[in-house]
Structure 1
């Protein structure tokens, strides 16, 4: 995958990353890895269960907003109840794995747009109108902002970034790494309010009320820091891509390189784009009528809100799917690449059938996550790490920085953002509020710690999918390839973003409205 070069001329960083890739790619197939991890969880959970390991803590229930005192003990899956749970949970565990539904729905639309040639044409157009130096920044910015559409950026932006890089004559794996770092590594910030923000804010307010029932924050409490983080992380991701990842990969020599060489658009392609624009306009009109008027069905039926916790935001993958589906079909009709409805259905079928290997992997991953959570090991780890940090006699800024480090490390094995915050908020929010720290700062610190390592943990539901994207261009790409590509992003974003947070806090800048 990496271009041939003289080892003596490589930097220490490049040699370390090459070593990480070689070692990582020698591990077994991801399916076997997660089967091994399942076996490890079974053994470790049983040992902890026999040792009687348990923790007591206070947690906020995200549904009732009540503070609850809970005791969590290690559970073994080797008991009668554990075996029954594994036996009956095989299908429910898979069906409850939201990544599968999101992936299938998105690919129904993307598959049509791809088969019709719309995506290729749009990428060629983007490359033609964008200065070469700006494409990296544009893709990084769009990747970060894609979190407004929940997880859709994983299945849409990442492969598009790889294809865009290929069209520009650059290594497509650099584009995939750039897209993954932007979508996953900055998932918790945006310039707009996301559905996730509503849940995290509610949990934060419940924690504040433990020490001050009259005080609350709203959805915009940390918006200034979030908005500032977006261009900051855009520059960080782009610089890492251009200065480290692209030079390490070198020139792409794959067979697909010739396919990326595109001339200017022909008359049929321009006609297809006009048809696609009309299709897009039609989709926007339909969903506009369903969401914009007062009392529209896609608004929150209780508050009337459109942004935040609303049917529109919670199901944003649906309009995204229709945008690709309708625009792709319209483009194909105009460009002559789609002749009938059978061609559209064929494109959908082809896209979904290509997910067979990914769905198999998701089957195994979903079982591992279910067993890991059943064992209560993640909760025990989170509580013990939180207790250790709070017992340390350090000032607010150091406590906040330590909190970021703890969240960053824990995110490698315990990825659900809401579940972690429900455990951490009752510990750190009251403590820091009593020390005079703005609760918005505590929530912002959590966002900083919870995001960057999303791209290097195989427990990320979309990690395996990104490996599949990489294998389109390098059949030898594996877990080691992705970890080696994303490790510089994870480290760079963690360090620099934490530095931005510390500077923001020390300067006393407002966190939001």
Structure 2
């Protein structure tokens, strides 16, 4: 009897693996301290490598370069006096601040919440899974608010058509987490990713530029493909276990579910007025922008009328901020929430406060990257690594597999997409560039690897949040419950998305405007 009980209670190998991942991840320090620890490791490594006399030919200049010792007197002076400049000129810092000034106004006005709620409120049973999945893929503008808004909405949408509200939560969660980087629109995160990729690529090619639009064609198609994939996995696989998602009460009150998310404070009439004004403002903004771009000698175009090399695309962060600022003001005005013009800078200040933790992280990242650049270890690793891969004769497809699998495994422990990209980009982007892979393609591979494992790692704060939501409907729901449903989605989405990239690469389709895949 004792043996039988122990066999029933002994966790499976999969759960033991996940428990080990959770334990290992918990042992990692906060990303802020992680970058400072790596800063120290890099400094010691530069001291050791500089003593070996190892050199490589710098692809950017053709000169023979060695590793600079970061522990020398000259290096310490240079790093200390340059710390402020390294932080202030860190590309993503200004980008995030500018974009958030506009996004914050749209967010604080309630526009994002209203649009998301209305989009999912009257979905038919046939389309409910696809609608929730596509809504999650399009929710990147909501940032962390996406989980608070869309997970309860997914539960309501599923319950309305007679399906398990818990499954609705899971579909919403996995679509936000795993498909969120497949956004057909340009989100603030895209601008940050592009800035980090640019700084990494310029370690090899000083003229290299990666734009936020460089993955736009690929992510637009990916959003639809991944939403369909989530739908098929849900209907063909997860639906077979939907009966196990039993709520604790016989009836789940829709109002109670919605209470888990943000509370609507506007009347239906106010929302409709706000949306009408916002729609007109959006059309007017787009129309004026298009006209301004098409005008002869337009200041938004580059030399000789160039569009790809233009102030518009180079300054896309400013235009994104202005667009969302316009929409936020329009919605707040139309719904009669705007009491005075002083509300606008207050909304902006709230938005900046919300990203204060990211700014703190950026300080550590900027100093780490400044040291990386000073020591020239990134050049050494990129050149030596690319030479080693070339000597092994690994085909491009094999290299792509190695990159996405390695990043996916790292993402199980370091769940912050921007922090992980800042960590791996200075090595992966230059190395891939030396092997003939466009930085835009490397960024697309990172999206695949980073996104698909987000929904299966207990280290993610959004994962813990979703478990909490599930427990409001079933107290026994836990990590195993969520992973048992998200794992099939994550694995199949990873395979499908990577296969889509390979097809894109084979056909030679541009990843975005002026961004060849190879």
Contact 1:116 1:328 survives alignment (8 Å): yes
> Does structure 2 conserve the Cα–Cα contact (< 8 Å) formed by 1:124 and 1:167?
yes
What is the CA deviation profile of residues 134-181 of structure 1, one whole-angstrom value per residue up to 9, with x for unaligned ones?
A: 2343246547xxxxxxxxx5x655643652233333688975764454
- Pairing 1:96-175 to 2, within 5 Å after superposition: 96-130=89-123, 131-139=127-135, 141-142=137-138, 156=142, 159-160=145-146, 163-169=149-155
Taking a change above 3 Å as real, the CA distance of residues 101 and 20 of structure 1, as seen in their structure-2 partners, is same
Following TM superposition, by how much is the alpha carbon of 1:333 offset from its aligned partner in structure 2, in angstroms? 2.1
8 A contact 1:167–1:261 mirrored in 2: no
In the alignment, is the contact (CA less than 8 A) between 2:107 and 2:142 conserved in 1?
Answer: no
Map 1:295-444 → 2, pairs under 5 A: 295-300=297-302, 302-306=303-307, 308-393=308-393, 399-408=395-404, 423-428=431-436
Please say if residues 292 and 298 of structure 2, whose CA atoms lie closer than 8 Å, have aligned partners that are also in contact. Answer: yes
1:73 match: 66
Offset from partner CA, 1:257-287 (integer Å, 9 cap, x none): 5345769961121112122223323322332
Deviation at 1:341, TM superposition (A): 0.7
Residue deviations 1:109-158 (CA, integer Å, cap 9, x gap) = 22222222222211111222444312343246547xxxxxxxxx5x6556
Q: Distance in 1 between matches of 2:403 and 2:356?
A: 34
Task: Check 1:386–1:503 CA distance in 2 against 1; reply closer, same or farther (3 A cut).
Answer: same
What is the alpha-carbon distance in structure 1 between the residues aligned to residue 503 and residue 327 of structure 2? 45
Residues 182 and 219, structure 2, Cα contact 8 Å, conserved in 1: no
Supply the distance in 1 between the matched residues of 2:217 and 2:348 (Cα, whole angstroms).
41
Q: Give 1:149's aligned residue.
A: none
2: CA distance between counterparts of 1:74 and 1:277? 56
Q: Normalising by structure 2, what TM-score?
A: 0.66
Q: Hey, what does 1:218 align to over in structure 2?
A: none
Contact 1:178/1:238 (8 A) holds in 2? no
Distance in structure 1 (CA, Å) of the matches to 2:291 and 2:452: 41
CA distance in 2, matches of 1:15, 1:263: 45
Q: What secondary structure sits across from 2:342 in the alignment?
A: helix
CA distance in 2, matches of 1:490, 1:55: 40
Q: Is the 8 A contact 1:157 1:179 kept in 2?
A: no
Q: 1:8 to 1:72 in 2, by over 3 A?
A: farther
TM (normalized to structure 1)? 0.66
Q: Secondary structure at the match of 1:168?
A: helix
Question: How many Å separate the matches in 2 of 1:7 and 1:356?
Answer: 47
The worse-fitting range, judged by mean Cα deviation, of 288-297 and 223-232 is 223-232
Q: CA deviation at 1:361?
A: 1.8
Structure 2 unaligned segments of length 5 or more: list them: 1-6, 156-165, 206-214, 411-419, 469-478, 511-515
CA contact (8 A) 1:382 1:423 kept: yes
Q: Deviations over 1:237-276 (max 9, x none)?
A: 67789979x9999999999853457699611211121222
CA contact (8 A) 1:174 1:249 kept: no
Are residue 288 (structure 1) and residue 274 (structure 2) matched? Answer: no
- 3-state DSSP of counterpart to 2:62: strand
Residue matched to 1:53: 54
Q: Is the 8 A contact 1:38 1:371 kept in 2?
A: yes
Residues 97-116 of structure 1, C-alpha deviations (whole Å, 9 max, x = no match): 22222222222222222222
Please report how far the alpha carbon of residue 298 of structure 1 lies from its aligned counterpart in structure 2 after TM superposition: 1.0
Partner of 2:80: 87
| Conserved 8 A contact 1:168-1:260 | no
Alignment deviations for residues 440-459 of structure 1 (CA, whole Å, 9 cap, x no partner): xx89975664443345999x
Task: Supply the distance in 1 between the matched residues of 2:284 and 2:429 (Cα, whole angstroms).
Answer: 40
Please say if residues 289 and 296 of structure 1, whose CA atoms lie closer than 8 Å, have aligned partners that are also in contact: no
What secondary structure, in the 3-state scheme, does the structure 2 residue paired with 1:339 have?
coil
Q: Helix, strand or coil for the counterpart of 2:297?
A: coil
1:363 deviates by: 1.0
Q: Distance in 2 between matches of 1:102 and 1:474?
A: 33
Could you tell me how far apart the structure 1 residues matched to 2:371 and 2:229 are? 37
Aligned partner of 2:273 in structure 1 is 271
Contact 2:70 2:371 in 1 (8 A): yes
Size of the aligned set, in residue pairs, is: 435
Q: Say if 1:450 and 1:107 are closer, same or farther in 2 by CA, change over 3 A.
A: closer
Residue 53 of structure 1 deviates from its aligned partner by 2.9
Distance 2:81 2:154 in 1: 50
How far apart are the structure 2 equivalents of 1:349 and 1:260?
A: 20
Say if 1:269 and 1:445 are closer, same or farther in 2 by CA, change over 3 A.
closer
CA distance in 2, matches of 1:414, 1:322: 27
